[in-house]
Chains A and B, each alone.
Chain A
Amino acid sequence: MAELTYRDALRTTLIEEMDRDPAVLLLGEDIGVYQGTFRVTADLLDRYGPRRVIDTPISELGFVGAAVGMAMLGLRPVVEVMTWNFSLLALDQIVNNAAKVRYFSGGQVDVPLVIRGPNGAGVQLSAQHSQSLEATYSHFPGLFVATPATPAEAKGLLRTAIRGKDPVVFLENAALYGMKGDVPDAEFVIPFGRAEVARPGADVTIVAYSRMLHVAMNAADRLAGDGVDVEVINLRTLRPLDMETVVASVRRTHRAVVVQEQWKPFGTAAEIAASIYEQAFDDLDAPVERVTGADVPMPYARNLELLAIPHEDDIVRAVKKTLNRA
């Protein structure tokens, strides 16, 4: 067990996997000479050379698509998108090629591809650089979507992603890169589709992932002071989605609050809430609450930006609402 930052957990996993398997290679903008925009790939060009650490032109469509072709030939490319906002330039390659080529070829190819980078709001990056795209990508069969919330998850989920046979949308969070946490050594792996009970409780279930997990945990601490015993479920991956763990929790607590940073309409929380209604309707004592970002393009002004993203207060309020104490 070692204490690592989220960033170093990612970086050491890349190193371990590149040492283990020569088929693993990296592509992305400024990941080599520049050392990576968030320094996740710092020093890797020196370690592995330009054939394995490829600085690409600013061509998301081009290099994501090229990585799909590499994966079809048996390599294991790990592509960095500088932020997930830029992945929209490569959306056709991700959705129409990576996600579907196994299916429309009748199972003739594997696509062991990882696309990773920061997702979600930063600080005053405004409308084009602050989006949370997890629901967009979780919509498509053929993709896996991972949302690590801690350094340990960054490592365990990235290793699963790199060793798999399928394209993985690996959504990091810029605000978490500096976060420290204990990370098990060596062969530590977290399988996809297994949510974690991050905090056991009896009164209300909060479902969260990525950075919102930490906001939810803080809210749970505060609620404990008010005598409310909150259970927090950390999803870890959205595709596959571990509804079994969520539903088991809701059956015990009879109340649920789902938290997401993204816009409310057609979002992750809507999918989870609908699944709770389908599978545990009779167990509910209150409607499922959704805590989400405001339904607006992200504003630049700091005060407006703070109004646009979910906070502890919002979660506390939603939990109390399910308890009829609002």
Chain B
Amino acid sequence: MRESSRTRTSAAAKATQVDRAPAALRDAVPWYREMVLARRFEEEAERAFRRGKIGGYLHVYTGQEAVAAGWLAGLRPDDIFFTAYRDHAYALFRGSSPNAVMAELFGKATGVAKGKGGSMHLFDVSRGFYGGYGIVGGHVPLATGAAYAVRYLGTDRVCLCFLGDGAMNTGAFHEPVNMAGVWGRDGLCPIVYIVENNQYGMGTSVERSSAVPNLAARFGAYAIEHERADGMDFLAVRTLAARVIAQVRATGRPYAVEMLTSRFAGHGAADLFQPYRSKDEITKAKDRDPIAILEQHLREAGVLREAEARRIHDEASRIVLDALRFAEESPEPDPGELFADIYGLP
């Protein structure tokens, strides 16, 4: 946001024309429902964490919903994606059961990973979700190799790699992204690197940690086409995502998009006081709430009435409360699970 207009690359100059026709907006209503659900899910997950029902770490996605929703809206069912550890919303948007996602957070046998991964390691391979990963940047090589694999196998599937701004300064970012630039010359790396720049790697700002804070521009070092765009407006993200995914699918070449977004909560559930930013900054960020922005678009277009919006919120609450109950009542993993899934054996 700070310098987006000045530092746009030539690729980004083709401004995204957002389709605001009623039909396109009607298609967005289900995504509004998804985003509301994800928001409610995170609110209740934080509450459950404070009640001691969820252990370990908990990183909520509140504020960034339009990014995951906009991009996943552009994927085919057979496409694949990898994420970092702030990963609950992707699973929900991709159709994983809220019950199974919440149960995973609770460490229950009915979780998406049988209670063995937890909040940071959601997986749903049947839906192309190849996992949330806990080491910053560590999944970027995996996603890059997976993109090579889908082409090697002769398919036109596409791989999305979601990463945070903090990951941009890891070696695990630079090595595979260089390889993607090389493999892309032969059309062998259909990947989109989606940098969710929420402006903080834990508590250290992009400005303080990055010699070049224009993160999109850094992909230029590896000959990867890139652009920078607002990540708070679902409709704009969805339109951009559709264009980029179509291009990557057609060319097999990597592409990078820096999405400017905001993390409304702390880094993790333990980051209560956020000493690295002011209350005022947080309040300002919340003025551009992606759910409110989408709701406004839908209301203005007349495809979402107030009663319907209220019904969507109530429905989301009910689904999340059901998920909490399901997670609470689900059994713990059988002790025999301790030694299962270490090897697949020959």
Contacts and interface: CB of A to CB of B under 8 A. Distances in A.
B31 interface: no
B153 A73 contact: yes
A108 B125 contact: yes
B342 A108 contact: no
A106 B344 contact: no
B112 A106 contact: yes
Given A69-B149, A105-B123, A96 B113 contact: no
B11 interface: no
Given A69-B144, A106-B112, A59 B341 contact: no
A168 to B, nearest CB: 10
Contacts of B114: 106-107
Interface stretch (B20-28, B131-139, B223-231, B258-266): B131-139
A140 B345 CA distance: 16
Interface in B28-46: none
B345 A69 contact: no
A179 B140 CA distance: 40
Contact of B149 (A73, A142, A191): A73
A93 B138 contact: yes
A68 interface: yes
Contact of A66 (B112, B130, B133, B176): B176
A198 interface: no
Contacts of B133: 97
B183 to A, nearest CB: 8
A106 B111 contact: yes
Given A105-B125, A106-B112, A62 B343 contact: no
A244 B130 CA distance: 38
B150 interface: yes
Nearest to B340: A107
A109 interface: yes
B131 A105 contact: yes
B201 interface: no
Contact of A62 (B123, B130, B149, B178): B178
Nearest to B181: A57
Interface in A122-164: 141-142, 144, 160, 163-164
Interface residues of A, number: 46
B141 A142 contact: no
Given A51-B188, A66-B142, A69-B145, A165 B113 contact: no
B141 A61 contact: yes
Interface in A26-75: 50-51, 56-57, 59, 61-70, 72-75
Interface string B91-135: 000000000000000000001111111100101110000110111
Given A65-B176, A73-B146, A165-B345, A104 B141 contact: no
A164 B345 CA distance: 6
B346 interface: yes
Contact of B123 (A64, A108, A163, A164): A108
A77 B139 CA distance: 17
A102 to B, nearest CB: 5
A110 interface: yes
Given A109-B130, A165-B343, A65 B172 contact: yes
Contacts of B255: none
A142 B340 CA distance: 11
A104 B344 contact: no
A66 B141 contact: yes
Nearest to A103: B341
B346 A191 contact: yes
A101 interface: yes
Interface string A83-124: 000000000110011000111111111110000000000000
B112 to A, nearest CB: 7
Name the residue in B123, B131, B175 with the highest tally of chain A Cβ atoms < 10 Å from its Cβ. Answer: B175
B202 interface: no
Interface in B143-185: 143-150, 152-153, 171-172, 174-176, 178-179, 182
A111 B341 CA distance: 12
Contacts of B117: 104-106
Contacts of B145: 65-70, 73, 77
Nearest to A89: B171
Interface of A: 25, 50-51, 56-57, 59, 61-70, 72-75, 77, 92-93, 96-97, 101-111, 141-142, 144, 160, 163-166, 191-192
Q: Which 4 A-B pairs have the closest CB atoms?
A: A65-B141, A62-B175, A69-B145, A66-B145
Given A105-B123, A106-B114, A110-B344, 20 more contacts: A57-B178, A59-B175, A62-B174, A65-B141, A66-B141, A66-B179, A67-B145, A69-B148, A75-B152, A75-B153, A77-B145, A93-B172, A97-B138, A103-B342, A104-B117, A104-B118, A106-B116, A108-B113, A111-B344, A160-B346
Interface of B: 80, 82, 111-118, 121, 123-125, 130-131, 133-135, 138-150, 152-153, 171-172, 174-176, 178-179, 182, 186, 188, 340-346
13 contacts: A62-B172, A65-B140, A65-B144, A66-B179, A69-B143, A73-B146, A73-B149, A75-B152, A97-B141, A104-B117, A105-B123, A108-B125, A165-B343
